[in-house]
Structure 1
Amino acid sequence: MQRKLRMAMIGGGKDAFIGAVHRIALNMDGLMELVAGSFSSRPDVALESGRSLFLNEDRIYTDYKTMLEKEAAMPADKRIDFVSIVTPNSVHFEPAMLALDKGFNVVLEKPITFSLDEAKQLKAKVEATGLSLLLCHTYTGYPMVKQARQLVQNGTLGKIRKIYVEYPQGWLTTFLESTGQIQASWRTDPARSGKAGSMGDIGTHAFNLAEYISGLQVTAICSNLNIVVPGRLLDDDGAALLKFNNGATGVLMATQIAAGEENNVKIRVYGEKGGLEWKQEDANSLIVKWLDKPAEIYRTGGGYNSSFAAHNTRTPAGHPEGYLEAFGNLYRNFALTLLAKINGETPKAEWLDFPGVEEGVRGMAFVDNVVASSAAGEEKWRVFTV
Structure 2
Amino acid sequence: MTRQSLRLGMVGGGEGAFIGAVHRMAAALDGEWRVTAGAFSTDSGRNARTGAQLGLDPQRTYDTFDAMLAGEASLPADDRIDAIAVVTPNHLHAPMAIAALQAGFHVFCEKPIAMSDAEAQAIAETVQATGRRFALAFTYSGYPLIEEARTRIAQGDLGAIRLVQVEYLQGWLSQPIDIQGNKQAEWRTDPARAGLGGCLGDIGTHAFQLAEHVSGLLVQAVSADLTIHVPGRRLDDDVSALLRFEGGARGTLKASQVAAGEENGLKLRIHGERGGLEWAQMEPNTLTLRWLDRPSEIVRAGGPGLQDSAMRLLRTPAGHPEGYIEAFANLYRSFAAAIRGEESTWVPGVPDGLRTMKFVEAVIANAASGRKWTSIDPGESE
**Residue aligning to 2:276:** 275
- Distance in 2 separating the partners of 1:173 and 1:66: 39
**Residue aligning to 2:375:** 383
Q: CA deviation at 1:306?
A: 1.4
Q: Equivalent residue of 1:241, what SS?
A: strand
Q: CA deviation at 1:379?
A: 5.3
Q: CA deviation at 1:67?
A: 0.5
**Residue aligning to 2:264:** 263
**Residue aligning to 1:344:** none
**Residue aligning to 2:287:** 286
Deviations 1:294-321 (A, max 9, x none): 1001110124211221111111101111
**Residue aligning to 2:129:** 128
- Distance in 1 separating the partners of 2:307 and 2:81: 34
**Residue aligning to 1:247:** 248
- Distance in 2 separating the partners of 1:233 and 1:327: 30
Q: Aligned pair 1:361/2:348, yes or no?
A: no
Is the 2:179–2:233 Cα contact (8 Å) retained in structure 1?
no
Q: Equivalent residue of 2:247, what SS?
A: coil
Deviations 1:14-39 (A, max 9, x none): 01000000011011011110000000
- Distance in 2 separating the partners of 1:236 and 1:117: 24
Q: Equivalent residue of 2:239, what SS?
A: strand
Q: CA deviation at 1:44?
A: 2.2
Deviations 1:29-77 (A, max 9, x none): 1111000000012222212211121100110101001111111121111
Q: Which runs of 5+ in 2 are unaligned?
A: none
- Distance in 2 separating the partners of 1:300 and 1:352: 18
- Distance in 2 separating the partners of 1:363 and 1:288: 28
Amino acid at match of 1:380: K
- Distance in 2 separating the partners of 1:98 and 1:198: 28
- Distance in 2 separating the partners of 1:27 and 1:177: 32
Query: Could you tell me the TM-score, scaled by structure 1's length?
Result: 0.96
Q: How many residues align?
A: 377
1:1-386 map, 5 Å: 2-339=3-340, 341=341, 347-348=342-343, 351-376=344-369, 378=370, 380-385=372-377
Query: Could you tell me the TM-score, scaled by structure 2's length?
Result: 0.97
Amino acid at match of 1:56: D
Percent identity of the aligned residues?
50
- Distance in 2 separating the partners of 1:137 and 1:170: 20
Q: CA deviation at 1:179?
A: 2.0
Deviations 1:339-366 (A, max 9, x none): 2x2xxxxx33xx2311001100111111
Amino acid at match of 2:223: C
Deviations 1:272-304 (A, max 9, x none): 110000001211000010001110011101242
Q: CA deviation at 1:95?
A: 1.1
Q: CA deviation at 1:338?
A: 1.3
- Distance in 1 separating the partners of 2:112 and 2:192: 14
Amino acid at match of 2:374: R
Cα RMSD (Å): 1.0
